[in-house]
Structure 1
């Protein structure tokens, strides 16, 4: 007796994908890059433990779509980061995966050619190469963990990881965060609530066992130790920002109630700036003022920034793309970024120096 097929009814194809080990063999971790990553993670841990007095700034494009323009941005940022290193600790935002409410371009790894050809194998290798280049500059990188398999391919080149507002409530992402080698920032929900993030932090701090893949690309049971460096990222939501002093105080109370460390990063973009990039500097200035006035819980900020201000749709003819301009969320331009970081460093200089003396 024959049976009708009962599986993969909506699957069009199973295309081969190189294993993490194969991709890593093509784009090998160098000693210089490994040192950048290790020092980046260690510094971030020290900031979270209040052993490093500097203010954290995670800044860069909303998403990487043009590696050439991204590398130019990284070169500029590395130089600025070095100049301001006594006061600010700068990490470059390198996002390859973009969550979508419905449909749209899902990022460089999913569709590197931006033509719906979905050469994920190409995107993964090129994405890893970009992270390697950034690390070779001596610049630590931050990214969002969206696909639970992707960290096996390039997680060794990342110093900080975000769990986004849409996935903070996901058990899959909480389990993944528990095994990541980086500090992990959980964003509050898109409705502005803190419960998903605080529960996510609690969950990620515990050990978990779940299905995944190993370096050979084989199915594996992944058993984690738990990640004690998870923390809260305020990004606004529910139609209002949440970086103001009242919202920050409520976040501190929520963390205290959950018996979690008072570690908060403010995302200056998204709902905190009403998705208007020109408002990001106002948000950062407000946050810096709170820190100067004595706030102890805010350890840093996130900023969406690229070579050119604004954003652009993806045209049918990719040659028409404006170089260094985002194809996802709108960003502030480089000149505004440089001015903002220099002004923030100046405002925080005395405070950071005073903190350093106490250590």
Structure 2
């Protein structure tokens, strides 16, 4: 007898998933975490609105694969954040979802055991528990909003979100970002084009209607108000960097022409560092010099930083993983991070209050 089905022909199975309400009941947000998230969001909004003269740095591992190392890094970052808090506002990168050009490890939510078992429900639990722990430490947290469903599970703990270069042009991600509770940075395209990011900013500021899920997990029509704290992130592209003063000026002009406030963030990694983590401190120094020379549009930076310098491939035997070393993009070490952040603080501590 022939198969007469006309749907789900390439679907192997469907697996029930915990709802956002159920996950939050198991791992509820504490009063101290609520206070931390609210403060982080407000500080970032104030920086974008120029009410707070500081620069915010989204800094931390390219991706989280080891909860213990993430706690270790967070404790170090909290101390450094307090040290430079008069000038720089440090926001920890806690990235659980990784876009892949072809295939590869998609992050802790998708594959928490890093062995292609894809225990997504466990990944969501691990991710939320880690975010809760870090928020209760008083750290503002950031992540990349990649899967359009996952924000319902985690966004209540996020102070700043990123939309990556591969998804800035996606209508789905623009719609999703229009409803995010945090400020959101849209990266320029992988080819270096700024147009897709400018169009994204115009789109995300407006209300949208789209399909999604509510807190009970029911498929719903989601109606958003629009996100008025979206801004562009320059990350280089097409084999070239775009963090220099000429490219920043061109970005300012493009944003102004589109009737958008010229709020610009610099991603110190990716093609702005030629994918060499050791060059990230040089980008940070260049940006500091631009601000010293009178730049008014740069509001923040992104830095990929970990306990150890560089990266590693995921080994067949996970016991061979090196502690504190990235399994995705290469990062600068903690020692390099402290040096670069302190240098930036020293350069800008007297000029930012007058900016």
Cα distance in 1 for residues equivalent to 2:256 and 2:354: 26
Q: CA deviation at 1:292?
A: 1.1
User: Equivalent residue for 1:105?
Assistant: 105
Cα distance in 2 for residues equivalent to 1:325 and 1:158: 24
Cα deviation 1:52-109 (Å, max 9, x = unaligned): 0001111000000001001100000001101110010000011000000000000000
Cα deviation 1:7-40 (Å, max 9, x = unaligned): 1000111011100111111111000000000000
SS of equivalent residue, structure 1 residue 143 = strand
User: Equivalent residue for 1:8?
Assistant: 8
Cα distance in 1 for residues equivalent to 2:123 and 2:68: 14
**2:175 equivalent to 1:175:** yes
User: Equivalent residue for 1:122?
Assistant: 122
User: Equivalent residue for 1:199?
Assistant: 199
User: Equivalent residue for 1:287?
Assistant: 287
Runs (4 or more) in structure 1 with deviation over 3 Å come to: none
SS of equivalent residue, structure 2 residue 349 = helix
Cα distance in 2 for residues equivalent to 1:67 and 1:196: 35
Cα deviation 1:272-297 (Å, max 9, x = unaligned): 00100000000110011101110000
Cα deviation 1:179-229 (Å, max 9, x = unaligned): 000001000000000011010011000000000000010001100000000
Cα distance in 1 for residues equivalent to 2:351 and 2:251: 23
User: Equivalent residue for 2:258?
Assistant: 258
Cα distance in 1 for residues equivalent to 2:257 and 2:236: 20
User: Equivalent residue for 2:85?
Assistant: 85
SS of equivalent residue, structure 2 residue 350 = helix
**2:337 equivalent to 1:332:** no
User: Equivalent residue for 2:165?
Assistant: 165
Cα distance in 2 for residues equivalent to 1:78 and 1:234: 26
User: Equivalent residue for 2:50?
Assistant: 50
Unaligned 5+ runs, structure 2: none
Q: CA deviation at 1:3?
A: 8.0
Cα distance in 1 for residues equivalent to 2:43 and 2:130: 22
Cα deviation 1:229-267 (Å, max 9, x = unaligned): 000000000110000111001000110011001100000
Q: CA deviation at 1:320?
A: 0.5
Cα deviation 1:305-339 (Å, max 9, x = unaligned): 00000000001110110000000000000000001
Cα distance in 2 for residues equivalent to 1:143 and 1:11: 29
SS of equivalent residue, structure 1 residue 350 = coil
Cα distance in 2 for residues equivalent to 1:92 and 1:348: 21
Q: How many residues were matched structurally?
A: 354
Q: Name the Cα RMSD after superposition.
A: 0.9
User: Equivalent residue for 1:344?
Assistant: 344
Cα distance in 1 for residues equivalent to 2:125 and 2:196: 33
